[in-house]
Structure 1
Amino acid sequence: MSHHPNQFDLFRTRRFLPLFITQFFGAFNDNLLKNAVIVLINFHGMKMLGLAPELMIQLAAALFILPFFLFSATAGQLCEKYDKAAIARLVKQAEIAIMLLAALGFWRHDGVILMSTIFLMGVHSTLFGPLKFSVLPQYLRPGELVGGNGLIEMGTFVSIILGQVAGTVLVNADDSRISIVLALLGCALAGLAAARAMPPAAPTAAALPIDWNFARQTWGIVRHAKQSRPVWLSLLGISWFWFLGAIYLSKLPTYASDVLGGDATVYTLLMTLFSLGVGTGSMLCEKLSGRKVELGLVPFGSLGLCLFGIDLYFATPPQAAATLDWLAFIADAGNWRLMADFALIGVFGGFYIVPLYALVQSRSAPEFRSRAIAANNILNSLFMVVSAAFAAVLAAGGVSIPTVLLIAALLNLVVAAYIYSLLPEFLMRFVIWLLTHTLYRVRHHGLEQIPEHGPCVLVCNHVSFMDALILAGAVRRPIRFVMDHHIFRTPLLGFVFRTARAIPIAPAKEDPHAKARAFDEVAAALAAGEVVCIFPEGKLTHDGEISLFKLGIEEIVARTPVPVVPMALCGMWGSFFSRRYGKAMLSWPRRFWSRIALKAAPALAASEVSAAALQQTVSELRGDWR
Structure 2
Amino acid sequence: MAGQSQFALLRQRRFLPYFTVQALGAFNDNVYRQSIIALLFVLGVSTAERTLYTNLAPALFILPYFLFSAIAGQIAEKVEKQKLIVVTTAMEIGIMSLAAIGFLLASMPVLLVALFLTGTQSTLFGPVKYSILPSVLRPEELTGGNGLVEMGTSIAILAGMIYGGLVFKIAGSYGPEAAAASVVALAVTGNVVARLIPKVDAGAPELKVNWNPVPESVAVMRLARRQLAVRNAILGVSWFWFVGTVLTAQLPTYAEVHLGGVVNDTALYIFALALFSVGVGVGSLLCEKLSARTVELGLVPLGAFGITVFLLDLYLARPGQPPATGLSIAAFLATPGGWRIALDLTGIGLFTGVFVVPLFALIQSRTPKSELSRVIAGLNIQNSLFIVTAAVLGVLVQMDGVTLAGLRIPLPGLSIPQVFLALGVANLLVAVWIFTLVPEFLMRLASMVLVRTLYRLRERDVDPAIPAEGPALIVCNHVSYMDALILAATIPRPVRFVMDHRIFAIPGMRWIFRHAKAIPIAGARDDPALMQRAFDAIDAALAEGELVGIFPEGRLTRDGEIAAFRGGVERILARAAERGQPVPVVAMALRGMWSSMWSRRSEAAGAGRLARMRVPRRFRAQVEVVAAPRIVEPAAMSAAALEACVRGLRGDAA
**1:438 and 2:488 are equivalent in the alignment:** no
**Given the superposition, is the C-alpha separation of residues 565 and 625 from structure 1 closer, same or farther in structure 2, using an over 3 Å criterion?**
closer
Mean CA deviation greater in 213-222 or 128-137? 213-222
Candidates 492, 499, 502, aligned match of 2:518 = 502
User: Match for 1:598: what amino acid?
Assistant: E
C-alpha distance in 1 between matches for 2:335 and 2:653: 54
The answer to whether the Cα contact below 8 Å between 2:496 and 2:546 also exists between their aligned partners in 1 is: yes
Please report the RMSD computed on the Cα atoms of aligned residues, expressed in angstroms. 2.9
Unmatched runs of 5 consecutive residues or more in structure 1: none
The answer to whether the Cα contact below 8 Å between 1:578 and 1:584 also exists between their aligned partners in 2 is: no
Instruction: Quote how far apart the aligned CAs of 1:478 are.
Output: 3.4
Report the TM-score, using the length of structure 2 for normalisation: 0.87
Q: Counterpart in 2 of 1:341?
A: 344
Q: Counterpart in 2 of 1:462?
A: 478
**1:426 and 2:424 are equivalent in the alignment:** no
C-alpha distance in 1 between matches for 2:445 and 2:335: 37
Task: Describe how 1:442-453 pairs up with structure 2 within 5 A.
Answer: 442-445=457-460, 447=462, 450-452=465-467
Q: Counterpart in 2 of 1:282?
A: 284
Instruction: Quote how far apart the aligned CAs of 1:131 are.
Output: 1.2
Task: Describe how 1:582-621 pairs up with structure 2 within 5 A.
Answer: 582-583=608-609, 594-600=620-626, 602=628, 607=635
Instruction: Quote how far apart the aligned CAs of 1:116 are.
Output: 1.9
Q: Counterpart in 2 of 1:71?
A: 68
> SS in structure 1 opposite 2:520?
strand
The answer to whether the Cα contact below 8 Å between 1:576 and 1:590 also exists between their aligned partners in 2 is: no
**Given the superposition, is the C-alpha separation of residues 416 and 448 from structure 1 closer, same or farther in structure 2, using an over 3 Å criterion?**
closer
**Given the superposition, is the C-alpha separation of residues 566 and 510 from structure 1 closer, same or farther in structure 2, using an over 3 Å criterion?**
same
**Given the superposition, is the C-alpha separation of residues 564 and 89 from structure 1 closer, same or farther in structure 2, using an over 3 Å criterion?**
closer
Candidates 132, 137, 140, aligned match of 2:129 = 132
Mean CA deviation greater in 535-544 or 500-509? 535-544
User: Match for 2:57: what amino acid?
Assistant: A
**Given the superposition, is the C-alpha separation of residues 600 and 587 from structure 1 closer, same or farther in structure 2, using an over 3 Å criterion?**
closer
Q: Counterpart in 2 of 1:114?
A: 111
C-alpha distance in 1 between matches for 2:345 and 2:250: 13
The answer to whether the Cα contact below 8 Å between 1:558 and 1:606 also exists between their aligned partners in 2 is: no
The answer to whether the Cα contact below 8 Å between 2:600 and 2:612 also exists between their aligned partners in 1 is: no
> SS in structure 1 opposite 2:423?
helix
User: Match for 1:538: what amino acid?
Assistant: G
Q: Counterpart in 1 of 2:422?
A: 407
**1:53 and 2:55 are equivalent in the alignment:** no
**1:180 and 2:175 are equivalent in the alignment:** no
Q: Counterpart in 2 of 1:248?
A: 247
C-alpha distance in 2 between matches for 1:506 and 1:584: 26
Instruction: Quote how far apart the aligned CAs of 1:593 are.
Output: 6.3
Spell out, residue by residue over 1:436-455, the C-alpha distance to the aligned partner (whole angstroms, 9 max, x if none): 22332213345468354676
Instruction: Quote how far apart the aligned CAs of 1:490 are.
Output: 3.4
C-alpha distance in 2 between matches for 1:406 and 1:578: 50
Candidates 565, 568, 585, aligned match of 2:587 = 565
Instruction: Quote how far apart the aligned CAs of 1:180 are.
Output: 2.0
Instruction: Quote how far apart the aligned CAs of 1:528 are.
Output: 6.3
> SS in structure 2 opposite 1:366?
coil
C-alpha distance in 1 between matches for 2:381 and 2:87: 22
**Given the superposition, is the C-alpha separation of residues 480 and 197 from structure 1 closer, same or farther in structure 2, using an over 3 Å criterion?**
same
Mean CA deviation greater in 380-389 or 214-223? 214-223
Instruction: Quote how far apart the aligned CAs of 1:160 are.
Output: 0.3
Task: Describe how 1:538-557 pairs up with structure 2 within 5 A.
Answer: 538-541=554-557, 549-553=565-569, 555-556=571-572
The answer to whether the Cα contact below 8 Å between 1:564 and 1:606 also exists between their aligned partners in 2 is: no
Instruction: Quote how far apart the aligned CAs of 1:375 are.
Output: 1.2
**Given the superposition, is the C-alpha separation of residues 262 and 88 from structure 1 closer, same or farther in structure 2, using an over 3 Å criterion?**
same
Task: Describe how 1:248-267 pairs up with structure 2 within 5 A.
Answer: 248-263=247-262, 264-267=266-269
Instruction: Quote how far apart the aligned CAs of 1:551 are.
Output: 4.3
C-alpha distance in 2 between matches for 1:5 and 1:609: 35
> SS in structure 1 opposite 2:414?
coil
Unmatched runs of 5 consecutive residues or more in structure 2: 401-412, 578-582
C-alpha distance in 2 between matches for 1:375 and 1:261: 41
User: Match for 1:396: what amino acid?
Assistant: M
**1:390 and 2:393 are equivalent in the alignment:** yes
The answer to whether the Cα contact below 8 Å between 1:482 and 1:504 also exists between their aligned partners in 2 is: yes
Identity of aligned residues (%): 44
User: Match for 2:277: what amino acid?
Assistant: S
**1:518 and 2:531 are equivalent in the alignment:** no
**Given the superposition, is the C-alpha separation of residues 574 and 448 from structure 1 closer, same or farther in structure 2, using an over 3 Å criterion?**
closer
Task: Describe how 1:159-178 pairs up with structure 2 within 5 A.
Answer: 159-174=156-171, 175-177=173-175, 178=177
**Given the superposition, is the C-alpha separation of residues 108 and 602 from structure 1 closer, same or farther in structure 2, using an over 3 Å criterion?**
closer
**1:322 and 2:325 are equivalent in the alignment:** yes
Spell out, residue by residue over 1:397-442, the C-alpha distance to the aligned partner (whole angstroms, 9 max, x if none): 2311111011001100011111111222222222212222233221
User: Match for 2:288: what amino acid?
Assistant: E
Task: Describe how 1:527-542 pairs up with structure 2 within 5 A.
Answer: 531-541=547-557
Q: Counterpart in 1 of 2:42?
A: 44
Q: Counterpart in 1 of 2:404?
A: none
**Given the superposition, is the C-alpha separation of residues 396 and 563 from structure 1 closer, same or farther in structure 2, using an over 3 Å criterion?**
closer
User: Match for 2:433: what amino acid?
Assistant: Y
Spell out, residue by residue over 1:55-106, the C-alpha distance to the aligned partner (whole angstroms, 9 max, x if none): 2211111111111111111111211122222221121111111111121111
Instruction: Quote how far apart the aligned CAs of 1:499 are.
Output: 3.4
The answer to whether the Cα contact below 8 Å between 1:130 and 1:373 also exists between their aligned partners in 2 is: yes
C-alpha distance in 2 between matches for 1:616 and 1:106: 72
User: Match for 2:182: what amino acid?
Assistant: A
User: Match for 2:42: what amino acid?
Assistant: H
Q: Counterpart in 1 of 2:201?
A: 202
User: Match for 2:139: what amino acid?
Assistant: P
The answer to whether the Cα contact below 8 Å between 1:438 and 1:593 also exists between their aligned partners in 2 is: no
User: Match for 2:53: what amino acid?
Assistant: M
C-alpha distance in 1 between matches for 2:619 and 2:397: 46
C-alpha distance in 1 between matches for 2:452 and 2:302: 12
C-alpha distance in 1 between matches for 2:122 and 2:314: 32
C-alpha distance in 1 between matches for 2:328 and 2:617: 49
Spell out, residue by residue over 1:507-566, the C-alpha distance to the aligned partner (whole angstroms, 9 max, x if none): 010222432443454456556665443223323345656555544345556666854524
Report the TM-score, using the length of structure 1 for normalisation: 0.91
Spell out, residue by residue over 1:260-279, the C-alpha distance to the aligned partner (whole angstroms, 9 max, x if none): 11242221111111111111
The answer to whether the Cα contact below 8 Å between 2:319 and 2:417 also exists between their aligned partners in 1 is: no
Mean CA deviation greater in 470-479 or 531-540? 531-540
**Given the superposition, is the C-alpha separation of residues 212 and 622 from structure 1 closer, same or farther in structure 2, using an over 3 Å criterion?**
closer
> SS in structure 2 opposite 1:395?
coil
Q: Counterpart in 1 of 2:357?
A: 354
The answer to whether the Cα contact below 8 Å between 1:107 and 1:176 also exists between their aligned partners in 2 is: no
**Given the superposition, is the C-alpha separation of residues 37 and 457 from structure 1 closer, same or farther in structure 2, using an over 3 Å criterion?**
same
**Given the superposition, is the C-alpha separation of residues 516 and 358 from structure 1 closer, same or farther in structure 2, using an over 3 Å criterion?**
same
**1:308 and 2:310 are equivalent in the alignment:** yes
Spell out, residue by residue over 1:341-398, the C-alpha distance to the aligned partner (whole angstroms, 9 max, x if none): 1111111111111111122222223232112111111111111111111111111123
**Given the superposition, is the C-alpha separation of residues 584 and 531 from structure 1 closer, same or farther in structure 2, using an over 3 Å criterion?**
farther
C-alpha distance in 1 between matches for 2:376 and 2:461: 33
The answer to whether the Cα contact below 8 Å between 1:262 and 1:323 also exists between their aligned partners in 2 is: yes
Task: Describe how 1:370-389 pairs up with structure 2 within 5 A.
Answer: 370-389=373-392
**Given the superposition, is the C-alpha separation of residues 52 and 623 from structure 1 closer, same or farther in structure 2, using an over 3 Å criterion?**
same
**1:35 and 2:51 are equivalent in the alignment:** no
Instruction: Quote how far apart the aligned CAs of 1:15 are.
Output: 2.1
Mean CA deviation greater in 150-159 or 196-205? 196-205
> SS in structure 2 opposite 1:204?
coil
Q: Counterpart in 2 of 1:575?
A: 597
